[in-house]
A = this chain, B = another copy of it.
Amino acid sequence: MIQLLRLALAQINVTVGDIPGNAARLIHYLERARAEKANLVLMPELAITGYPPEDLVLRQDFVDANLRALEKVAQATHGLIAIIGFVEREGADIFNAAAVCVDGRLLTTYRKICLPNYSVFDEKRYFRAGGQPLILKLGELRLGLSICEDIWVDGVVESEAQKGAADFIVNISASPYDWQKGDERELLLTSRARNNRVYLAYVNTVGGQDELLFDGRSFIFDPHGQPLLRGEKFQEQFLLHDLEIDTSLTKAAARSPREAGGAMNKAGLTTTESLTLREVSIEMKMPAVPTRSTAPNLAPHLADEEEVFRALTVGTRDYVRKNGFKKVVIGLSGGIDSALTAVIAAEALGNENVVGVLMPSRFNISASTEDALALAQNLGIRAFTIPINEPMTSMENSLAPTFSGREPDITEENLQARIRGMILMALSNKFGWLVLTTSNKSESAVGYATLYGDMAGGFGVLKDVPKTFVYRLANWINRVRFKDNPVIPQRTIDRPPSAELRPNQTDQDSLPPYELLDRIIEAYVEEDRSVTEMVEAGLPREIVRQVVNMIDRAEYKRRQAAPGIKITTRNFGKDRRMPITNRFQP
């Protein structure tokens, strides 16, 4: 049988907690779907509440508001079948659920079976796991539902598919971005489609939420695993696609019924019983779909630098806007981190919404000031200068009696950084600008930043970007993104990096070369490698020891750092929950 289906994937950007706003956005897209004569509309996981709602879901009033909103949204589905993520309640339990809304009413729900509780996820803190796959019968077509993690764990969609139950697997997700996950996800989805001989549609939310960024990139695959639709990354999109579903491609595949029990255990399910399928029929006359092209519609893959640049841009824009700010302020040092932060901020918010502040001290060389001003001019952002020599002298005078007889040391370096932090915060308080911090992941890892100094601010654009990748981005910006008019002064990129807190200082006085440092950070922080393993992999033992100690000892600083966008496989934040009090010697 061939069935024509017009599918709409709402790859949308919702805001955590903004239940009325999110509902209005869902209704807007449902109306559009109806106008476009779509049959089936997929909306992301927890689209009503935003993802992750965290401890908000422990509040009864929050879950109530979400249920009331779902009711309203369901009423807007007349003429449509819509799958919509929301929080379902039963007694004292709540579920991460998908509402199946048909023609203006809630027909049934599906409850997420696999609850991720690792990495940045805490779903077992909140939700009870579902235990029952759902098949929607739509004429001769059989749709198997799943929510995010369900499709990552062997045995859930496979159990539906391998029992021959589904022709078409649907997955609604809120799957956070990291720079490795995109390829991984596409490979996973294509293999799920191909191995189970099913059509597969996947919709992912998009946009930033605190440290997390959702990259969209929704998909449709055919039963050969060929992509029919690939959405854009980091953009809200309403994706329409006409599918000619050939059930002979799916039902023809001989499948032996198989219990999913074994694989389930691995998923940490709350049951070892085999999952029993539930089937629900949808009785709705589907509107006739006018014939349109069913040709594949595939957004291109992006180069690494472009992908991360877009990620940081959207993450910054969403944090700033969703928290009610319009303008941001950045301390411009003439160095590469603040330059890159300013470029991203201008891209995210418009150059009229970015203010740069130069805060030179007696240790800043003139090249720094020149480069900072050149950058501001290239970007077309407002910049002004507030020298810190006078406050620095007065602080030193105030402390002189107490410090008498002591040599200058890191204390005085930190004072400079803290005066700068104080100036930026004063501008924030006076004018309502959000302070963007400029530290990168390499500095944050080893504590090469001043608490309440350059760490002062509301959002860390580069917080999870290793310094070596800061260089790659800066080069890409000059050579590709702004190739006709490079915005970052070349000297900013070429000079040895320096905090300029004492004469002739460079980062490499205190740190190993960044290439080496970043390899150690990746091995230790992201891969949990032991010192022995790192040494066996060819890294120098003394430096490994030194860096590992620095990383462990800087935990107290990171705990007071501003949030920033996760782009690596493990960021400093909810993704890595280390004790501060920790005497482990790795």
Range, interface on chain A: 35 or more
A537 at the interface (CB under 8 A from B): no
Residues of B within 8 A of A531 (CB): 61
Complex: how many Å from CA A16 to CA B209? 32
Contact A418 B411 (CB under 8 A): no
**Residue with the highest number of chain B CB atoms closer than 10 Å, among A19, A52, A426:** A426
Contact B386 A580 (CB under 8 A): no
Complex: how many Å from CA A150 to CA B16? 35
Tell whether A402 pairs with B386 under 8 Å between CB atoms, given A124-B268, A561-B560, A581-B209: yes
Contact A16 B579 (CB under 8 A): yes
From residue 428 to 470 of chain A, which have CB atoms closer than 8 A to chain B?
A: 429-430, 451-452, 456, 458
Residues of B within 8 A of A17 (CB): 579, 581-584
Contact A580 B563 (CB under 8 A): yes
Contact B582 A56 (CB under 8 A): yes
Residues of B within 8 A of A561 (CB): 560
From residue 1 to 45 of chain A, which have CB atoms closer than 8 A to chain B?
A: 15-19, 21
The closest CB in chain B to the CB of A397 belongs to B390
Residues of B within 8 A of A559 (CB): 562-563
One of A141-149, A270-278, A306-314, A369-377 at the interface: A270-278
From residue 371 to 421 of chain A, which have CB atoms closer than 8 A to chain B?
A: 384, 386-388, 390-391, 393-395, 397-399, 401-403, 406, 409-411, 414-415, 418-419, 421
Residues of B within 8 A of A581 (CB): 15-17, 208-210, 318-319, 322-323
Residues of B within 8 A of A394 (CB): 390-391, 393-394
- Rounded to whole Å, the gap between the CB of A579 and the closest CB of chain B is 5
A304 at the interface (CB under 8 A from B): no
Contact A272 B269 (CB under 8 A): no
Tell whether A422 pairs with B580 under 8 Å between CB atoms, given A122-B122, A269-B270: no
- Rounded to whole Å, the gap between the CB of A432 and the closest CB of chain B is 11
Set B19, B52, B395, B427: member contacting A579, Cβ < 8 A:
B52
The closest CB in chain B to the CB of A49 belongs to B584
Set B265, B403, B418, B528: member contacting A59, Cβ < 8 A:
B528
A125 at the interface (CB under 8 A from B): yes
Residues of B within 8 A of A65 (CB): 584
What per-residue 1/0 map shows which CB atoms of A502-532 lie under 8 Å from chain B? 0000000000000000000000000010111
Contact B415 A398 (CB under 8 A): no
A577 at the interface (CB under 8 A from B): yes
From residue 531 to 586 of chain A, which have CB atoms closer than 8 A to chain B?
A: 531-532, 556, 559-563, 576-584, 586
A482 at the interface (CB under 8 A from B): no
What per-residue 1/0 map shows which CB atoms of A170-184 lie under 8 Å from chain B? 000000000000000
Tell whether A390 pairs with B386 under 8 Å between CB atoms, given A452-B452, A583-B18: no
- Rounded to whole Å, the gap between the CB of A584 and the closest CB of chain B is 3
A60 at the interface (CB under 8 A from B): yes
Contact A55 B560 (CB under 8 A): no
The oligomer's copy count stands at: 2
Complex: how many Å from CA A469 to CA B452? 29
Complex: how many Å from CA A18 to CA B65? 47
Complex: how many Å from CA A53 to CA B386? 45
- Rounded to whole Å, the gap between the CB of A333 and the closest CB of chain B is 17
A117 at the interface (CB under 8 A from B): yes
A58 at the interface (CB under 8 A from B): yes
**Residue with the highest number of chain B CB atoms closer than 10 Å, among A21, A210, A415, A421:** A210
Contact A402 B419 (CB under 8 A): no
Complex: how many Å from CA A59 to CA B527? 9
A328 at the interface (CB under 8 A from B): no
Complex: how many Å from CA A562 to CA B451? 11
Contact A584 B271 (CB under 8 A): no
Tell whether A403 pairs with B419 under 8 Å between CB atoms, given A268-B270, A580-B563, A581-B16: no
The closest CB in chain B to the CB of A531 belongs to B61
Residues of B within 8 A of A229 (CB): none
A71 at the interface (CB under 8 A from B): no
Contact B419 A422 (CB under 8 A): yes
Complex: how many Å from CA A575 to CA B205? 27
Set B451, B456, B577: member contacting A55, Cβ < 8 A:
B577
- Rounded to whole Å, the gap between the CB of A522 and the closest CB of chain B is 15
Contact A578 B60 (CB under 8 A): no
Set B125, B390, B458, B560: member contacting A562, Cβ < 8 A:
B560
Residues of B within 8 A of A21 (CB): 583
The 9 lowest CB-CB distance pairs between A and B, nearest first, are A17-B584, A18-B583, A61-B530, A411-B429, A394-B394, A452-B452, A17-B582, A17-B583, A411-B430
10 inter-chain pairs at a CB distance below 8 angstroms, sorted by A residue, are A61-B586, A62-B586, A117-B117, A210-B581, A272-B272, A386-B399, A391-B394, A409-B429, A411-B426, A560-B561
Task: Give me 6 other A-B pairs in contact (C-beta within 8 A), A323-B581, A414-B425 excluded.
Answer: A16-B584, A21-B583, A210-B580, A265-B270, A388-B398, A560-B562
